[in-house]
Structure 1
Amino acid sequence: MTAYKWSLQEQCHFLKRTGELLDRGYPLSEAVESLLFQLSKRKRDELSQCLADLKEGYPFHQVLAKLKFNQHLVGYVFFAEQHGGLADAFQSSSEMMLKRDLDFEKVKKLLAYPIFLILITAVLFVFVETSILPRFSSLFQSMQLQANFFTKVVSSFGELLPFISLGFLFICLLFAAYYFFIFQKLPQIKQKTMLASMPVLGVFFRLFYTHYFSVQLSYLLASGLSIHEALHLFEKNEKQPLYKDLGKEMIKDLRKGEGLEEILLKYRFFEREVTHIIQHGQKNGKLDQELFFFSKYCLSLLETKIERLMKTVQPCLYMLIGFLIISMYLAVLLPMFHLMEGF
């Protein structure tokens, strides 16, 4: 049976309600069964099949993966099954992903309207450059008048516009080809290192990966596992190739005698401050708590930076739109004034 696509909000709400029922003392299978009646028929049928798998002993993270849940949510469930804090992990992970989805929706709404205005303005600009300005130019020539500087600039830009459009399309195709034929074939750690090295956007990737790694490691350590045992569970995480590869490499370095803080310095997709947190946590014997609070700090900082980016991008887009509109306005009016001066 083909799994029906659950939206991220639906996934988060389902996981959050499951965590709330677990908090009230429900066994996992009963909690899931109680939520069946709150779903649509199609989803209820799918979840009934997955519930049967759960009762047969399949791990819950495999059940969610079968439903094509978000890989980060599946990862949270996988680690929760290892350390036993299912209720808290389900609720915290769903709240975190809901906040991230809300931030993405804000960004999309922020960009959608200005981009729409830019496209409309660009169409009007092309219309002015191809239909109105040529008539002014013909009139200037017939009256032996010189076109003004602004009209020449707009005409020149109109001539360059097809080349600019083709160049932009070529760059997009180049990036798409690189992504599908080269980037996707790179090892996961190399991919994330490249993403974290991107200008402007790299900091968002670093904060997210640091938050995720820190919070999962803190839960595992709080359950009584050693660092080596916790990383071994990372290595067993088949649903998230990055953390599987990361756990494997870090275990090798630990066996060489390297400290955890030294190992993390090798990975550029982690914030440098996490090494100081680990050193401090190992000294005071509260590494799990230090990592947990640092993960919350990373998440808070990530949200703050997203808000700042939105406040910066929006005025810039509207300034660009305003410039294009004023340009068209002057492109029409200045030739008219110039024509009036010629009489």
Structure 2
Amino acid sequence: MLSAIGKIKNMHQRRKNPPLAFKHQITFLSRTCKLLDKGYPLVKSLQMISWDVQFKKVTMEIIYELNRGNPIDIAFKKANFSRQVTSFLYFARIHQDLPALFRQCRELLQLQHTYKQKFKEAMRYPIILLIFLIGSFNVIKHTILPSFSILFESGNSSPWSLLILKGSDIALTVLGIVFMFIVLIAGGFILTNYKRPTSQKLKIYIRTPFLRSYKMFTLTFLFATHLSSLLTAGLPLKDSLKVISDQTKYPELAFYSSHIQNQLKDGQSLSASIHQCALFREELTSIFHQTNDLPTLASELQMLSELLMDQLKEKLMKAVQLIQPIFFIIVACLVILIYASIMLPLYQWMDQI
């Protein structure tokens, strides 16, 4: 009876645990990976990690779920790990190379965390400056503009210099409305997208340029990574595709895997079946077209996933490096605009005296 009450209390406490921070997830995965590489069993590794007080509750949660017979991905989900981690660990049910899976999870989280921090750092100062300038522009609009309008009201027409401020006000208002409209559309799409069938989602992704590029990269990376790990674990190709199609973590990936299986049953070649998946990159089709034996296929798929990871790092670095120059150009234009809107009407009024 007491043990049952203790379990209920433990379950109640687990529900109150806050989501695990990204940096803590990265540290946890890194330590787990090191211990697994040294040959320690998973539970023993978790017990050793629990020596650190900040991870004690997390490790006890995972060990508790594992002792109940839950798979490793469910155990980590109960411990409030991110979807990226639990989705990768789903394949640990078949693929027994836990150090490799933990390493991939850690690299993905580290990449996401690093560039998220760099993005925040790159955006912090420009956004503060931009907010300050927009506030200054609004002050000018409500103080200086009415004064200039009164000053020139005796004339037959407003000076062209005064029109700069009015035109700028209209332009900023229109840009604000467009921005809010885009935010509302994006928010509505995110809130309703999960209700759509997977086939409809894929059609939307294909027709939307930005989403198309993003989904082509992520789906190709995930397919290459997980299929490579399953083939490395010794599963035949058809069984590996079946595992991917049965999982629910990535519905689009499961849909494409089912499509490939159906095409193979109809007599299509593997490369032709993959080529019909519009959100798979051409490199993936090329690998299946040129490679037949499974060990080589697993190796080349792993190489493709590593190349895609390197490409992602380069693109993120370029994006971060472009953020500040673009924002500083915008800020510089606003500064010039504010200066011109104040000084030009003043100079024109002085000429009329």
Compute the TM-score of the two structures, normalised by the length of structure 2: 0.86
Instruction: Choose from 96, 118, 125 the match for 2:130.
Output: 118
1:280 touches 1:287 (CA, 8 Å); kept in 2? no
Q: CA deviation at 1:284?
A: 9.1
1:129 touches 1:154 (CA, 8 Å); kept in 2? yes
Instruction: Tell me the equivalent position of 1:155.
Output: 166
Does 1:214 find its partner at 2:224?
A: yes
When structure 1 is superposed on structure 2, of 300-309 and 21-30 the one drifting more is 300-309
When structure 1 is superposed on structure 2, of 22-31 and 184-193 the one drifting more is 184-193
1:219 touches 1:288 (CA, 8 Å); kept in 2? yes
Q: Hey, what's the Cα distance between the residues in 2 that align with 1:93 and 1:224?
A: 21
Q: CA deviation at 1:76?
A: 1.7
Q: Which has the higher contact order (CA 8 A, sep 6+)?
A: 1
Instruction: Tell me the equivalent position of 2:47.
Output: 33
Instruction: Tell me the equivalent position of 2:255.
Output: 245
1:193 touches 1:268 (CA, 8 Å); kept in 2? no
Does 1:49 find its partner at 2:69?
A: no
Question: For the structure 1 residues 256 and 207, does the alpha-carbon distance in structure 2 shift closer, same or farther, using more than 3 Å as the test?
Answer: same
When structure 1 is superposed on structure 2, of 293-302 and 250-259 the one drifting more is 250-259
Does 1:132 find its partner at 2:107?
A: no
When structure 1 is superposed on structure 2, of 172-181 and 317-326 the one drifting more is 172-181
Identity, % of aligned positions: 23
Does 1:18 find its partner at 2:37?
A: no
Instruction: Tell me the equivalent position of 2:9.
Output: none
Task: Give the secondary-structure state (helix, strand or coil) at the position aligned to 2:81.
Answer: coil
Does 1:72 find its partner at 2:84?
A: yes
Instruction: Tell me the equivalent position of 1:83.
Output: 95
5+ residue gaps, structure 1 = none
Q: CA deviation at 1:52?
A: 1.9
Task: Give the secondary-structure state (helix, strand or coil) at the position aligned to 1:119.
Answer: helix
Q: CA deviation at 1:325?
A: 0.8
Q: Hey, what's the Cα distance between the residues in 1 that align with 2:206 and 2:28?
A: 31
Give the total of aligned pairs: 339
Instruction: Tell me the equivalent position of 1:274.
Output: 284
Q: CA deviation at 1:23?
A: 1.1
Instruction: Tell me the equivalent position of 1:92.
Output: 104
Instruction: Tell me the equivalent position of 2:236.
Output: 226
Q: Hey, what's the Cα distance between the residues in 2 that align with 1:272 and 1:312?
A: 28
Instruction: Tell me the equivalent position of 2:185.
Output: 174
Instruction: Tell me the equivalent position of 1:141.
Output: 153
The one-letter code sitting in structure 2 at the alignment partner of 1:243 is L
Question: For the structure 1 residues 321 and 199, does the alpha-carbon distance in structure 2 shift closer, same or farther, using more than 3 Å as the test?
Answer: farther
1:189 touches 1:246 (CA, 8 Å); kept in 2? no
Q: Hey, what's the Cα distance between the residues in 2 that align with 1:315 and 1:330?
A: 22
5+ residue gaps, structure 2 = 1-11
Q: Hey, what's the Cα distance between the residues in 1 that align with 2:295 and 2:99?
A: 26
Q: Hey, what's the Cα distance between the residues in 2 that align with 1:294 and 1:232?
A: 21
When structure 1 is superposed on structure 2, of 262-271 and 189-198 the one drifting more is 189-198
